[in-house]
A and B are shown apart, each in its own frame.
Chain A
Amino acid sequence: MPDALLWLPLGLSLIAAGLAALWGLPTVNRRLTNTRAAWLLALMPLAAFLFLLFRLPPVLAGSGLIWRQAWMPSLDITATLYLDGLSMLFALLVSGIGTLVVIYSGYYFRGDAGAWRFLCYLLLFMTTMLGLVLAGDVITLFVFWEGTSVTSFLLIGYKTKDEEARRGAFKALFITGGGGIALLAGLLFMAVLAGGTDYATLLHRRDVLISTPLYPVVLGLIAFCAFTKSAQTPAHIWLPAAMVAPTPASAYLHSATMVKAGVYLLARLYPALGGTELWFAVLTVFGLLTMLTGAYLGLKQNDLKALLAYSTVSQLGAMVMLVGAETAVAFKAVIVGILAHALYKGALFLLVGIVDHETGTRDLRRLGGLRGTMPRTAIVTIPAALSMAGLPPLFGFLAKETLLASVTHPQLPPLIGTLLTAAAVMAGALLLAQAGLLLSDVFFGRPRDPHIHGHEPPRGMLVAPAILTALSLILGLLPEPIPLATLIAVAAKAAYGATVKVSLAIWAGITVPFVLSIVAVSLGGLIWGFRHPLRRRQEALWPWLRLDAVYEGVWQGLMGVARLSTRSQAGQLRRYLILMLLALTTMMLLWGDLPRPTTLGSEPLDDLTLLRVFTLVLATGAAALSIFLVRDFFAILALSVSGLGVAVIMALEPAPDVALVQIVVDLLSVVLLTLALAIIPREQRRRAWEFTFRQTRWGLVRDGLIAGAGGVAIAILTLAALIARPRTSIVTPYYEANAKSLAGASDIVGAIIVDFRGFDTLIEILVFSLGGLGVFALLRYATRRERRQAEMLLASSAGENPSLAPGTSELHDKLVMGIGGIRPSPFIRMLAQVLLPLMMVVAIVQMMYGHEQAGDGFTAGVIISLIIAFWYVAFGYEETRRQLPWLQPFPLVGMALTLALGNGLVAAMLSGSFFGRVDYGQWLGLGLPRGFSFSSSFVFELAICLTVLGGVALMLAALGHPQDKR
């Protein structure tokens, strides 16, 4: 039935966590001692515990409480909380033991100002753990499941300075995180197969789930996750490593609550997935293995916490095994076992924490005879240890009885039954021996290490363990604690599906289990008697057999592969380019499916053919020449020749506008390349040249092959495009039809550039001006930084590279004279003086009539810029700047862009669409000479021209004068 307050326990513990964080504030922290703060914080989990107790009656009556909150409707995922017997039992444990642990940690961290962090993490963990057990649908379950992993990571790594703590936390997160991913996949599989995420639907689709071929996958994923969380062999290795956590955390997470999450998951999903051969096999095998491994390794340990950890592993194994066994009594045994284990193991951890805290060690080989100095602690410990040993009249005895009863259940196949029985007896015996070891070697006997003097902890510190111990004592002694029995029954029923009869009487007469437990006890006593030789023998036996080593190996291997894969990022551009081009070639070969032209084209020869052939050869030849010419300068000249050849090819296409631009660009780039050449020190270039062909022949072949492949591909594409001529173009006819009427231009290309696709051009000039800005900025700021470095270097190693040193004569010449360093003749200077205005006029005309003839703003801009370049050559940097004050790069570009955008906007206002075309001349009613139109296009051309001018001015200013003095 619905319960609007079911979220309250989570809310309370979350608030508590928030308060703990607040307590971290220095002002609060100073006023509040740890113990007091802990007592206050403990009220919250206590409240949660009480809240749950109040919800006990309906749950015992067998009805589950549900709380729903829409979360992701479009995936029909609702956050659901669900409280039935099983979750009730766990929730009570979590909140109850949580309360005690919080109180305990207050004492454990006495005087540690950082304790707030621990308590904050702990309470966060409590929230997630409560959420995990209260979750009512698999997504909510997963959310909190991951939450427990993360928070436990924080708790294990609490002592961050400690290398071991970091490793342990990482290991735990690695393993449980891996489980988490498996869980998500498994749960989603279930949800998809069953068609719903909440238990209500999921748990009633067993028939669907176990009948699909995917069932093994689902079960595998879920089981894997549960095993990682519940520390089943071989994933158990994280649990002992997690013992570096502060003891309260170990007591809470690694005995009472989190490690049981796996068992909870399996028990919870049993109705949906359980009851099959596979289920039985997987769970029993792993459970059995884990039970024995844990029990065996536990006896070997010298560290008390490690000993407890391994016995926990053993117990978890037993529980998993029981969930696999799928009989009513087995589920009873699981529930009782969980309860009993939580009580005594929690207590023992806390007590070990006390011993550690008061004596400063947990090493069995150094402790001993503490009953004298720590009588109270001893008194509290004894019943807990006996309960662990499974001796009457403690609750642990009951747990062992039910365990034995379920492994001797007639429903099991005889052979397996005996196997399980033997294993259970063995494990029980070993656990008893360990409990004995714990008691005898810590509290009894004589002190082994004279330096260790334990003393009693403050009373408050004993409260928590005392309560837990008392519980396992009382629950054992009480004749038939009815409500508890019903709770266990309800819980077992929730997991098992059918009713489970539960009686908690200690004395059930002489039964098979009883006999078996007598056997176990006597065997355990024997082991205990011979513990020292046995433990020494264990030490000697297979020292190399360590699962941690396997984990380490995996981790190291992973890191090795990782480091190796970073080697691919070798840092050399050429390698990158080559690899990319190879990949591209491969893709082309696999999927490119290049056309196989049948004809070689049918373009008829005309009177220009000879010229065409000549230019084609020229362009290619010059380009090829640029490879082999030794002097870079000649190579550049070859490049420019090839560029001009290309221009002629374009002109013959015929595409006069393109050819024009190609020519000016070619000239401009040659000028700039030469400038760049002038500022890159010669001997550096010489050294680089030596490398040009000096590399492995294989390298040359490889590059040649790549180049060849690329060339062939493009050639084929070109041929395929050419022989298909003439084709139909969708867009061009429109341009041809409307260039004059709509764009007022007879030059169709110009019309496209400025009107039809004007936006392209706008962005294009942005790119161009940005190029200019980039060059300017680079050579101003980056260079300045580098030069500082260079000067430092030069200061150290004098004149190793003179051309870099500022203020050398070469540089001086560049400043006061032309870039060439030679003072040009007066004639040249006069020429420059005259040419500038002339060219400006030419440029203006260019733009005015650009729509009628070839040429446009770009060409105009470049023309002016070239003259300015000429000025740089003729007058040198300083004088040019002095004589042409308007040559301010930033404002020029800025104004140009303002013009372009403004023009677009005005056009938008007049013609209704951004970049629309408006004839301002008409609009203003100006009478203008024929063929000259003052339209938005003209303004745009002007903007282009200015941009180019600004951009080129920037480039020239930068390249012409890199060594700025500012």
Chain B
Amino acid sequence: MHTPHLVILPILIPLVGATMGMLLWRRRRWQAFTSAATLLLSLLGAVLLLVSVWRQGPLVFQLGGWPAPFGISLVGDLTAATFVVMAQVVLMTGLIYALGCHDRCVLYPVFYPLFLFLTASLTGSFLTGDIFNLFVFAELMVIAATVLTALADDRSGVEAAYKYFYISLLASILWLSAVGSLYASYGTLNMADLARRLAADPSPPLVPAALVLMTVFFMIKGAVVPFHFWQPDFHAAAPTAVSAMLSSVVVKLGIYGFLRMTTLLFQPQASLLRDWLVAFGLVGVFFGGLTALGTHNLKRMLAYSTLAQIGFILVGIGWGTPLALSAAVVLTINHSLIKAALLMLAGAMASRAAVKSAAFANLVGLGKGAPFPGVLFFLGGMTLAGIPPMNGFVGKLLLFRSGILAAAYPALAAVGVAGILTLLYVTRAFQTIWWEPAPAEAKTKAGGDRLLAPALLIALCLLLGLWAEPLLALADAVSASLLNPSAYIHAVLGS
């Protein structure tokens, strides 16, 4: 069934679920149930979309039946579909974690609707083919994430949300200015249409400014150094089920944006943009690695490490060769899975501590009673560090290989040197929690959050490492579709 309606399902189903959740606001059990059911349903829809798109090419849904570029088009090309599936898989595990965790905030009637709104908005921003519609979705995402974080049990949640929200509002102001500049230059908002016209005539005076503004917007969304400041505070303070999503899939909006900008929207300026991305990526790789090594809190460490991982991905996008792009895609998927898993484990360990906090000082020796999360965390750490046979290795392999083929030796050397940092901070965290003896007065709570969700994710990582071929094939297909923008444009505008 290769029908355009597939494209809107992954957005619509969570919205419906959220609405039901609101109507059921007094019945928490029902709320949780319907939310899980709807999310699962939309995940199935997303997978269906991916398969169908992979087999038969891009799908476009013209909302309201208005022809592009006059209406709003939702574009399900391979890239978008891949990101959607990735996001919804992780979000599904996040919901599973939420169902099994002891946070008080998941009992609030707003939690599950907000979580579904987060899902819908993230999905929408991947699928939309209209720059203003992207803004609207991004806003929805920001508000959902902000409220979810502000409600965290951690008393600093509001502070984190406040910082994030201000910075995000700044980002949206930049985006609006970019939208204005582009409309003033080309008189259209449809990405495909813009791409076509911009490629035909990149001269209008407002275009460079728009390019910078969009870049910065996506850098803020993707927590790219030096636009990352919201991220460590935010991800460390959010409820575990949420922070796992934020640090893994939500930041991927930035990555998605850069993929689109370099291959679709700004083709004439792509080479320039790629150079920036490599530069920013390298900065991020070192900064993220160092800060992750230097910080005092497990969740913050993982948040900082996201900066570094995003850096690796940016370098891949910046190299821009087919192989490098598929490396970036593989790294993106791996990071989404593993970072979610690790943050869940961090939260689970914190939930075992007497005081619920992920500060290392608070977690020392907690692992003694918990070997299973220890094994998971060790495997996860190895994934992050790209140690075979975990799937992180596949990404590292691809990145190095593409770097060699692209003859980008200095950047490659930098990436290699920074790579060791990952191993260091992961190992240090593992030793602190599972090897160091606990201080005498420390006492642990019996049973913490459930470990099903992280276990699933780690298992997936192991599977994708041992049996990497499907992932690689998908990544290759994605990078091929990215490098063939005319197909996208044709699918949206026809003729």
Q: Quick one: CB contact mask for B282-313 with A, threshold 8 Å, 1 for yes?
A: 00000100110111100000001000000000
Cβ B187 vs Cβ A142 within 8 A: no
Q: Quick one: CB contact mask for A182-201 with B, threshold 8 Å, 1 for yes?
A: 10110011001000000000
Q: Which residue of B lies closest to A755 (CB)?
A: B64
Compute how far the CA of A755 lies from the CA of B71 in the bound complex, rounded to whole angstroms: 9
Known contacts A763-B136, A777-B108; is-contact A731 B69 (Cβ 8 Å): yes
Q: Which residue of A lies closest to B105 (CB)?
A: A781
- A166, A766, A913: the one contacting B117 at CB < 8 Å is A766
Q: List the 8 shortest-distance A-B pairs measured between CB atoms, nearest first.
A: A562-B294, A595-B205, A913-B65, A894-B22, A576-B229, A774-B147, A729-B187, A160-B435
- B382, B437, B473: the one contacting A74 at CB < 8 Å is B473
- Within residues 555 to 604 of chain A, which ones have a CB less than 8 A from any CB in chain B? 558-559, 561-566, 568-569, 571, 573, 575-577, 579-581, 583-584, 587-588, 591-595
Known contacts A763-B137, A770-B117, A778-B151; is-contact A913 B64 (Cβ 8 Å): yes
> Which residues from B are CB-within-8-Å of A890?
22-23, 25, 109
> Which residues from A are CB-within-8-Å of B435?
157, 160, 166
Cβ A72 vs Cβ B394 within 8 A: yes
> Which A positions have Cβ atoms within 8 angstroms of B?
71-75, 139, 142-143, 146-147, 150, 153, 157, 160-161, 166, 169-170, 173-174, 177-178, 181-182, 184-185, 188-189, 192, 217, 558-559, 561-566, 568-569, 571, 573, 575-577, 579-581, 583-584, 587-588, 591-595, 713-714, 717, 720-721, 724, 727-732, 734-735, 755-760, 763-764, 766-767, 770-771, 773-774, 776-778, 781-782, 785-786, 789, 890-891, 893-895, 897-898, 901, 911-917
Q: Jot down 24 A-B pairs with beta carbons below 8 A, ordered by A.
A: A74-B472, A143-B389, A150-B387, A161-B437, A181-B416, A192-B404, A562-B293, A566-B295, A577-B166, A728-B187, A729-B187, A730-B187, A730-B188, A732-B187, A755-B64, A756-B70, A760-B133, A767-B136, A773-B110, A778-B147, A891-B22, A898-B23, A901-B19, A913-B65
Known contacts A890-B109, A916-B65; is-contact A771 B427 (Cβ 8 Å): no
Determine if B155 is an interface residue (Cβ-Cβ < 8 Å): yes
CB distance from A909 to the nearest CB of B (A): 12
Interface size bracket, B side: 35 or more
Cβ B436 vs Cβ A166 within 8 A: yes
The number of A-B residue pairs with CB atoms under 8 Å apart is 291
Cβ B419 vs Cβ A911 within 8 A: no
> Which residues from B are CB-within-8-Å of A181?
416, 419-420
Q: Quick one: CB contact mask for B151-182 with A, threshold 8 Å, 1 for yes?
A: 10001011000110011001000100100110
Compute how far the CA of A591 lies from the CA of B105 in the bound complex, rounded to whole angstroms: 45
Compute how far the CA of A897 lies from the CA of B17 in the bound complex, rounded to whole angstroms: 11
Q: Quick one: CB contact mask for B393-404 with A, threshold 8 Å, 1 for yes?
A: 110111011001
Compute how far the CA of A160 lies from the CA of B72 in the bound complex, rounded to whole angstroms: 59
> Which residues from A are CB-within-8-Å of B114?
770, 773
Compute how far the CA of A766 lies from the CA of B138 in the bound complex, rounded to whole angstroms: 12
Known contacts A569-B229, A770-B144; is-contact A562 B291 (Cβ 8 Å): yes
Cβ A146 vs Cβ B387 within 8 A: yes
Known contacts A184-B400, A898-B23; is-contact A146 B157 (Cβ 8 Å): no
Determine if B143 is an interface residue (Cβ-Cβ < 8 Å): yes
Cβ B431 vs Cβ A894 within 8 A: no
Cβ B167 vs Cβ A72 within 8 A: no
> Which B positions have Cβ atoms within 8 angstroms of A?
5, 8, 12, 15-16, 18-19, 22-23, 25, 61-66, 69-72, 105, 108-110, 113-114, 117, 121, 124, 132-133, 136-137, 139-140, 143-144, 146-147, 150-151, 155, 157-158, 162-163, 166-167, 170, 174, 177, 180-181, 183-184, 186-189, 193, 205-206, 208-209, 211-212, 215-216, 220, 226-227, 229-230, 232-233, 272, 276, 287, 290-291, 293-296, 304, 382, 385, 387-389, 393-394, 396-398, 400-401, 404-405, 409, 412, 416, 419-420, 423-424, 427-428, 431, 434-437, 468-469, 472-473, 476
With A580-B220, A759-B64, A894-B23 already in contact, 15 other A-B pairs whose C-beta atoms are closer than 8 Å: A71-B469, A75-B397, A157-B431, A157-B435, A160-B434, A564-B294, A568-B291, A577-B167, A591-B212, A721-B206, A757-B132, A758-B63, A767-B143, A774-B110, A914-B5
Cβ A592 vs Cβ B212 within 8 A: yes
Cβ B206 vs Cβ A720 within 8 A: yes
> Which residues from B are CB-within-8-Å of A564?
294
Compute how far the CA of A73 lies from the CA of B416 in the bound complex, rounded to whole angstroms: 25
> Which residues from B are CB-within-8-Å of A561?
290, 294
Cβ B16 vs Cβ A901 within 8 A: yes
> Which residues from A are CB-within-8-Å of B69?
730-731
> Which residues from A are CB-within-8-Å of B424?
174, 558
Known contacts A759-B72, A897-B19, A898-B23; is-contact A717 B187 (Cβ 8 Å): no
Compute how far the CA of A281 lies from the CA of B158 in the bound complex, rounded to whole angstroms: 62
- B64, B187, B209: the one contacting A756 at CB < 8 Å is B64
The main secondary structure of chain A at its interface with chain B is: helix
> Which residues from B are CB-within-8-Å of A895?
23
Q: Which residue of B lies closest to A144 (CB)?
A: B388
> Which residues from B are CB-within-8-Å of A913?
62-65
- A731, A782, A897: the one contacting B157 at CB < 8 Å is A782
Compute how far the CA of A566 lies from the CA of B187 in the bound complex, rounded to whole angstroms: 45
Known contacts A166-B436, A770-B143, A914-B8; is-contact A724 B294 (Cβ 8 Å): no
Cβ B206 vs Cβ A595 within 8 A: yes
- A72, A170, A173: the one contacting B468 at CB < 8 Å is A72
- A721, A756, A781: the one contacting B66 at CB < 8 Å is A756
Cβ B188 vs Cβ A731 within 8 A: yes
> Which residues from B are CB-within-8-Å of A724?
184
Q: Which residue of B lies closest to A725 (CB)?
A: B184
Compute how far the CA of A561 lies from the CA of B404 in the bound complex, rounded to whole angstroms: 30
Known contacts A74-B472, A721-B180, A721-B184; is-contact A185 B400 (Cβ 8 Å): yes
- A573, A720, A732, A763: the one contacting B205 at CB < 8 Å is A720
Compute how far the CA of A856 lies from the CA of B135 in the bound complex, rounded to whole angstroms: 22
Known contacts A558-B293, A901-B19; is-contact A580 B5 (Cβ 8 Å): no
Compute how far the CA of A188 lies from the CA of B407 in the bound complex, rounded to whole angstroms: 12
- A161, A756, A760, A914: the one contacting B136 at CB < 8 Å is A760
Cβ A915 vs Cβ B63 within 8 A: yes
Compute how far the CA of A71 lies from the CA of B391 in the bound complex, rounded to whole angstroms: 13
Compute how far the CA of A150 lies from the CA of B428 in the bound complex, rounded to whole angstroms: 14
Q: Which residue of B lies closest to A161 (CB)?
A: B437
> Which residues from A are CB-within-8-Å of B19?
894, 897-898, 901
Known contacts A576-B230, A595-B206, A781-B105; is-contact A770 B140 (Cβ 8 Å): yes
- A587, A731, A897: the one contacting B212 at CB < 8 Å is A587
Q: Which residue of B lies closest to A191 (CB)?
A: B401
Pick the most buried of A583, A770, A912: most chain B CB atoms within 10 A of its CB.
A770
Compute how far the CA of A576 lies from the CA of B231 in the bound complex, rounded to whole angstroms: 11
Cβ B139 vs Cβ A767 within 8 A: yes
Known contacts A146-B387, A561-B290, A735-B70; is-contact A74 B476 (Cβ 8 Å): yes
Known contacts A573-B166, A894-B25; is-contact A714 B177 (Cβ 8 Å): yes
CB distance from B300 to the nearest CB of A (A): 8
Compute how far the CA of A594 lies from the CA of B110 in the bound complex, rounded to whole angstroms: 45
Cβ B143 vs Cβ A593 within 8 A: no
Cβ A565 vs Cβ B291 within 8 A: yes
Compute how far the CA of A579 lies from the CA of B183 in the bound complex, rounded to whole angstroms: 29
Pick the most buried of A170, A563, A731: most chain B CB atoms within 10 A of its CB.
A731
Compute how far the CA of A71 lies from the CA of B420 in the bound complex, rounded to whole angstroms: 26
CB distance from A843 to the nearest CB of B (A): 22
CB distance from B303 to the nearest CB of A (A): 10
Compute how far the CA of A913 lies from the CA of B64 in the bound complex, rounded to whole angstroms: 6
- A170, A184, A579: the one contacting B427 at CB < 8 Å is A170
Compute how far the CA of A917 lies from the CA of B69 in the bound complex, rounded to whole angstroms: 18
Q: Which residue of A lies closest to B425 (CB)?
A: A562
Compute how far the CA of A564 lies from the CA of B294 in the bound complex, rounded to whole angstroms: 8
Known contacts A185-B416, A732-B187; is-contact A594 B209 (Cβ 8 Å): yes
Known contacts A713-B209, A778-B151; is-contact A731 B124 (Cβ 8 Å): no
> Which residues from B are CB-within-8-Å of A170?
427-428, 431
